[in-house]
């Protein structure tokens, strides 16, 4: 292992790392379908609202848009397919195997919009739409940002020249589409960023501090440039979001919006991010796995990354924070490496090295 002042720490995140803010597995599939139905009801209820003075003319117009209604029918369809197949990733794999590129691109757009809506204040906090009931006993309340990220960032951020920056010895690799890491970081800035690109650039601070192996929500490509599905400034109310979503349908023409690089599944050969992830593993001393169960459809890439870590010559250690992890699977994947298991999920695990100020002096920020 490296000397204490140069310890490199990698957080490897799965869906469970956003458990308090984002539905996972079956609940996510159910919530996609429910969200789509809620928005369709919201549109229908406002279709004939010309007499309602609180609606502007442009707001009234969006509720008459057939394309908008059709899009949320598609989102409901994919949510139901995710329920049927077990997850949206598995159904996406089916489309990929069948060579259905256009439908796969539409699925990715639906995934992006779903996470946009879920992570925005007006949906995540249930200000405008009734809470989706994912099952009869469901009474779970989701936070806009999983609060465990706040305590983590309070430790691993330091003062920068213009804004708080991530410790140079820390990085993240995640399979999640959500932007919980980036949004939690943003909460430590004096002002919110104007758009997703600015947020991502500030968080990465001239180096790739986070690698999204499946890509992330909120962006698409058009004519070799990237754009927000709906600009961040318009994510302040549901009506404004829908208005801009409808506008962008016209502006960018739906069939030309390309989500293939912003959301990219493991089997699609995301070579650039995989190469970066391997480079991180080659330089990792402490690997902290949070909320991840190493599902079968990611297994090949996961094993490549773990093998890279195992063979990096740094004699590192592994910490797993997932009480439901399959113990036999851990033995297979981390053969000949001691794995420390953390049962407590109230807070994200912070390596003791973080808690000794002399280990990470100011020059590491």
In a domain, 128, yes or no: yes
In a domain, 77, yes or no: yes
Tokens of 1: 């292992």
Same domain assignment for residues 45 and 109: yes
Mean pLDDT of the chain: 85
pLDDT at 4 (0 to 100): 56
Phi, psi of 86 (to 5 degrees): 110, -30
Residue 361's pLDDT band, with cuts at 50, 70 and 90, is low
Model confidence at 356: pLDDT above 80:
no
In a domain, 225, yes or no: yes
3-state secondary structure (DSSP) of residue 142: coil
Same domain assignment for residues 58 and 184: no
pLDDT at 53 (0 to 100): 43
Phi, psi of 350 (to 5 degrees): -120, 120
Q: What is the mean pLDDT of residues 323-349?
A: 91
CB 322 within 8 A of CB 290: yes
Model confidence at 78: pLDDT above 80:
yes
In a domain, 343, yes or no: yes
Same domain assignment for residues 138 and 150: no
| Domain finish residue from 232, 256, 280 | 256
Same domain assignment for residues 207 and 343: yes
Residue 46 vs residue 14, higher pLDDT? 14
Same domain assignment for residues 151 and 242: no
Separation between Cα atoms, residue 342 and residue 292, nearest integer Å: 13
Residue 184's pLDDT band, with cuts at 50, 70 and 90, is very high
Q: What is the mean pLDDT of residues 344-362?
A: 77
Model confidence at 186: pLDDT above 90:
yes
3-state secondary structure (DSSP) of residue 38: helix
Same domain assignment for residues 182 and 309: yes
* Domain carrying residue 243: 25-142+220-256
Same domain assignment for residues 106 and 61: yes
CB 196 within 8 A of CB 220: no
In a domain, 107, yes or no: yes
* Domain total of the chain: 2
Same domain assignment for residues 272 and 131: no
Residue 335 vs residue 354, higher pLDDT? 335
User: pTM to 2 decimals?
Assistant: 0.89
Model confidence at 266: pLDDT above 90:
no
Same domain assignment for residues 290 and 164: yes
Separation between Cα atoms, residue 341 and residue 353, nearest integer Å: 17
| Domain finish residue from 204, 236, 256 | 256
Same domain assignment for residues 13 and 132: no
CB 286 within 8 A of CB 7: yes
Model confidence at 183: pLDDT above 80:
yes
In a domain, 261, yes or no: no
Residue 166's pLDDT band, with cuts at 50, 70 and 90, is very high
In DSSP terms, 339 is beta-bridged to 318
| Domain finish residue from 195, 229, 256 | 256
By C-alpha distance, which of 163, 189, 208, 181 is closest to 291? 181
% the chain with pLDDT above 90? 56
Same domain assignment for residues 203 and 346: yes
Same domain assignment for residues 129 and 150: no
Residue 47 vs residue 316, higher pLDDT? 316
In a domain, 356, yes or no: yes
Residue 130's pLDDT band, with cuts at 50, 70 and 90, is very low
* CATH code (residue 156): 3.40.50.1220
């Amino acid at each position: 292992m490296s000397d204490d002042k140069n310890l490199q720490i990698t957080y490897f995140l799965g869906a469970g790392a956003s458990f308090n803010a984002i539905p996972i597995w079956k609940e996510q599939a159910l919530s996609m379908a429910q969200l789509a139905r809620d928005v369709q009801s919201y549109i229908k209820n406002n279709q004939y609202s010309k007499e309602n003075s609180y609606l502007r003319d442009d707001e009234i117009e969006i509720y008459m848009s057939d394309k908008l209604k059709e899009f949320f029918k598609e989102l409901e369809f994919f949510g139901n397919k995710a329920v049927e197949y077990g997850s949206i990733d598995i159904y996406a794999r089916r489309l990929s195997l069948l060579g259905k590129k256009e439908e796969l691109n539409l699925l990715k757009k639906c995934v992006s919009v779903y996470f946009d809506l879920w992570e925005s204040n007006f949906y995540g906090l249930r200000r405008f739409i009734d809470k989706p009931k994912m099952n009869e006993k469901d009474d779970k309340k989701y936070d806009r940002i999983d609060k465990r990220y706040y305590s983590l960032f309070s430790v691993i951020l330091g003062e920068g020249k213009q804004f708080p920056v991530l410790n140079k010895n820390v990085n993240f690799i995640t399979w999640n589409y959500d932007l919980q890491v980036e949004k939690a970081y943003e909460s430590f800035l004096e002002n919110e960023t104007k758009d997703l690109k600015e947020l991502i650039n500030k968080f990465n601070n001239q180096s790739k501090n986070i690698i999204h192996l499946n890509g992330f929500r909120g962006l698409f490509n058009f004519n070799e440039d990237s754009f927000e599905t709906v600009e961040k400034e318009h994510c302040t109310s549901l009506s404004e979001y829908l208005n801009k979503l409808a506008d962008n349908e016209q502006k960018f023409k739906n069939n030309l919006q390309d989500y293939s690089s912003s959301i990219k599944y493991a089997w699609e050969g995301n070579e650039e991010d995989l190469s970066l992830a391997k480079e991180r593993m080659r330089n990792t001393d402490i690997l902290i796995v949070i909320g991840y169960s190493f599902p079968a459809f990611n297994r090949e890439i996961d094993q490549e990354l773990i093998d890279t870590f195992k063979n990096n010559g740094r004699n590192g250690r592994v910490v797993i924070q997932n009480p439901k992890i399959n113990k036999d699977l851990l033995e297979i994947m981390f053969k000949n490496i001691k794995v420390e298991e953390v049962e407590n999920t109230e807070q994200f695990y912070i390596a003791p090295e973080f808690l000794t100020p002399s280990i990470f002096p100011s020059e590491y920020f």
